[in-house]
Structure 1
């Protein structure tokens, strides 16, 4: 008997909330649903004469904003997660008139656009009725969730798009890396080796008639060969650091931290080895983050934390780089952090940034790692 009282109190409280929320929801959403459905329908009808090309994108953006508000409301009132089903916008979407046509085409090709259109009349009819009847309000929320969440086909399509973009990024990154290696070879070691070959030819002609001059040129050739060897070693280290290949990611990151011009306090806990491409991606991502902190943030100290953590679908390497610099970093296109983000995307990795003006800056990256090899 005592246990029934709290349960009855909870049910009474939920009923009172429904009595307030339901009518309010009905009054607000009915005119908005009717307005947005009418505008959307008119814009689509006007597509053949060109007017709809201009009106459809802003109309559909308004519908998406409205649907997004309803998703948040379902989560707040019923605790139900309703992910957005929309396809991501291409990064190279152009502006101007052509951009407007592209936006309209992309919106109309997105299945989520038509699901929103189907949801609006359902919301203004079944949703309106269930909102007015408090006991049926949860059924309105369930209906909204079912119609606004992504279908399995949408999730697969989005994943295919993401894989296509990451493959495109991987190709671009590989091409840029190849050009860098060719440029460094051409401008550095290759030029020194060519100069050394020319010097050896001159030495061969001078060795009998001017031994002193030939001796000087031999010394210079020796210096050129040493410098060329150093440049080749640096180039190889930039492709795949020897310490990373020989001793693994933890020691490679510690060595990287020691080479920084600012003090780096590191805490690295990783079990065993991981796949070579993954270790390389994490290494160069950390290298970029530490270099940015030292060169651009004006930091006096940097903290590096690297952990192997559990994840819903396996495990992950989580890296956090914190500095006491000036802050104000961004993930904008063209920035070093954007490049790190693109590199990590090839491994389904993510990057999060917190960098208020004045600092501190905290950057966290997480990359799925599977299982470490002992």
Structure 2
């Protein structure tokens, strides 16, 4: 691990310690509010105190996930709104399981979590004193000056203290990353919802996504039926009528019959093109034959934008996942051209061993918001049916980065041309 990463881990330990102190202070305020509930004053203190405590605990969850990759499931937000009375809002907070977890975290984190992150910090700061301060001040500290187990009384012992200080500093740097990961697991134990609650949420989520998938499938079937009825079917009916007319004119007017047969050829070509477009909209042949990488490259070639594609897949993905990712990329490319006024788009396809990650970045004007349009909301719903997520970062002015993650496994050797 590089020295820069170890220094970053030390800084994060320091931030975690400061957050523990802030959580302890707010937790003390919340406990005071609980003690004052019988006299009524506590209702005025509990709501802002609990809200602030939840903000601090959410920040701790977010940092643990971002710093160590530890997945922490947050509790449900507090129910109620500002139209409720303080007594009613306080009752809703007291009934929430997440409130008591936050309070336990506020009281235990300074002792356990603070001790954990304090270990590398203690080594680092004490080592810094021995290596950077002790060599200059030891003559002023008198004969009883000790650094750890070394009595610093002359130049050789001062040098020994300096070397020991460097060792302590190195130990602090080495311990910071594993201690930070251990602190992340401790935070998950305190702040993540119970397994039973996670399962209940999971069941509810699967129930909702199942209903949405059924709706999407029904809408897709209606679209296919409409396209067949209005496109290929209408052309085939016209082709049959034209053939019938040509058959009647074949003996009496061969020239007119020949003209009608030419129309039949044109109509059959258009009907075939309609069928090809319909099949392409259902499952593109290049996706089935060559895989997701080449299918996305085909999308890039068809787009009038300057699209770069970086494929880092070492094998084929399950067909439903490939199809979902393909149409999601198509939707994002269309949005970049239509709404963002982008000129360049970068697409990265990667697989980390457990999930497919697709990143689409454009240089458009930004400001994309799933709440303001049906396209991104529909895309997010389709990904949820695969337990996937869509993360969107689109500040005003751009650039816009959309990241799709779908849990899956590589199922066969690579067949694309990358």
**Paired residues, what number?**
314
How far apart, in 2, do the equivalents of 1:18 and 1:299 lie? 41
CA contact (8 A) 1:18 1:137 kept: no
1:347 and 2:386 correspond: yes
Structure 1 unmatched ranges of 5 or more: 1-12, 43-59, 90-99
Counterpart of 2:278 (choices 235, 243, 265) is 235
Alignment pair present for 1:200 and 2:243? yes
Q: CA-to-partner distance for each residue in 1:27-72, whole Å, 9 max, x for gaps?
A: 5223544678999xx9xxxxxxxxxxxxxxxxx9989745623524
Go from structure 1 to structure 2 and tell me whether the alpha carbon gap of 1:156 and 1:295 turns closer, same or farther (over 3 Å shift): same
Distance 1:195 1:304 in 2: 43
Tell me which of 193, 200, 206 is aligned to 1:163.
206
CA distance in 1, matches of 2:304, 2:62: 49
**1:285 aligns to 2:331 (yes or no):** no
Partner of 1:28: 29
1:115 corresponds to: 97
| Contact 1:64–1:116, Cα closer than 8 Å, also in 2 | no
Q: Offset at 1:247?
A: 1.4
2:411 is matched with 372
Shift of residue 210 of structure 1?
2.5
Give secondary structure in 2 for the equivalent of 1:327: coil
Matching residue of 2:144:
none
Distance 1:292 1:19, change over 3 A: closer
Deviations 1:187-230 (A, max 9, x none): 11111111111112222222222222222111111101100000
The SS at the match of 2:370 is coil
1:268–1:307 contact (8 Å) kept in structure 2 = yes
Q: 1:35 to 1:191 in 2, by over 3 A?
A: farther
Once the two structures are TM-superposed, the CA of residue 316 in structure 1 deviates from its matched residue by 1.6
Closer/same/farther in 2, CA of residues 184 and 138 from structure 1, 3 Å limit: same
Aligned twin of 1:244: 287
Q: TM-score, normalised by structure 2?
A: 0.62
Structure 1 residues 269 and 173, CA gap change in structure 2 (3 angstroms): same
Q: Say which of 156, 159, 180 aligns to 2:223.
A: 180
- Please name the residue that 1:52 is paired with: none
Aligned twin of 2:121: none
- Unaligned regions of 5+ residues in structure 2, if any? 1-13, 116-185, 414-418
Deviation string, structure 1 residues 98-127 (Cα, Å, up to 9, x no partner) = xx9xxx9xx99xx9945257x39x96xx99
CA distance in 2, matches of 1:293, 1:19: 43
Shift in Å, 1:334: 4.4
Q: Which residue of 1 aligns with 2:76?
A: 86
* Match of residue 360, structure 2, among 298, 309, 321: 321
Q: Is the 8 A contact 1:352 1:363 kept in 2?
A: yes
Name the counterpart of 1:217.
Answer: 260
| Pairing of 1:142-157 with structure 2 (within 5 A) | 149-157=192-200
DSSP 3-state at the match of 1:302:
strand
> Quick check: which has more Rg, 1 or 2?
2
In structure 1, distance between residues paired with 2:317 and 2:20: 57
CA distance in 1, matches of 2:352, 2:52: 37
SS in 1 for 2:317: coil
Deviation of 1:371 after TM superposition, in Å, equals 3.2
Counterpart CA distance in 1 for 2:38 and 2:242 is: 80
- Asked if 1 retains the 8 angstrom alpha-carbon contact of 2:358 and 2:403, the reply is yes
Deviation by residue 1:332-362 (Cα, 9 ceiling, x = unmatched): 2642122221111111111111112222111
RMSD between superposed Cα atoms in Å? 4.5
Q: How far apart, CA to CA, are the structure 2 residues paired with 1:335 and 1:203? A: 49
Task: Return closer, same or farther for 1:65/1:36 CA change in 2, 3 Å cut-off.
Answer: farther
Q: How does 1:47-66 map to 2 (within 5 A)?
A: 65=51
- The structure 2 residue matched to 1:69, chosen from 46, 49, 55, is 55
